[in-house]
Amino acid sequence: GENVEQHPSTLSVQEGDSAVIKCTYSDSASNYFPWYKQELGKRPQLIIDIRSNVGEKKDQRIAVTLNKTAKHFSLHITETQPEDSAVYFCADENAGNMLTFGGGTRLMVKP
């Protein structure tokens, strides 16, 4: 089955610094790559996604890049703030509309 690897598992940054989380996937037919944020004790929520026909997408302080040749995609958060502290999950969707999640990254933003 599909395998999504996510790194790092934990990431600590100083407020104002940038954070980058990387994921690799195995299914070359994957065509949709969302990122979910899960705050402590809450449900995961979509923060940004990218489809395979584009290489980059930005939404304010958040951006996602996709390299289909290398089968990896990354989440970039600039000017991090304490409220960015959460667990972030990448995912990919294969041709069968199945969504597979990475193992998650716990981001801690220190004030």
Based on CB atoms, which residue is closest to another protein, 16 or 54?
54
User: Which one of 12-20, 41-49, 58-66, 74-82 is the stretch in contact with another protein (CB under 8 A)?
Assistant: 41-49
Contact 34, 49 (CB under 8 A): yes
> Considering only residues 55-84, where is the footprint of another protein by CB under 8 A?
none
Paired with 5 in beta bridges are 24
Contact 64, 33 (CB under 8 A): yes
101 binds another protein (CB under 8 A): yes
One residue of 3, 12, 28, 45 binding another protein per CB under 8 A: 45
Based on CB atoms, which residue is closest to another protein, 14 or 41?
41
Based on CB atoms, which residue is closest to another protein, 61 or 98?
98
Q: Residues with Cβ < 8 Å from 71, sequence gap 6 or more? A: 24, 25, 26, 28, 30
Strands (DSSP E) contained in the chain are 4-7, 10-14, 19-25, 32-38, 45-51, 56-59, 62-67, 72-77, 86-93, 99-101, 105-110
User: Which one of 13-21, 54-62, 65-73, 97-105 is the stretch in contact with another protein (CB under 8 A)?
Assistant: 97-105
| Residues binding another protein (CB under 8 A) | 1, 31-32, 34, 36, 43-46, 49, 51, 89, 93, 96-104
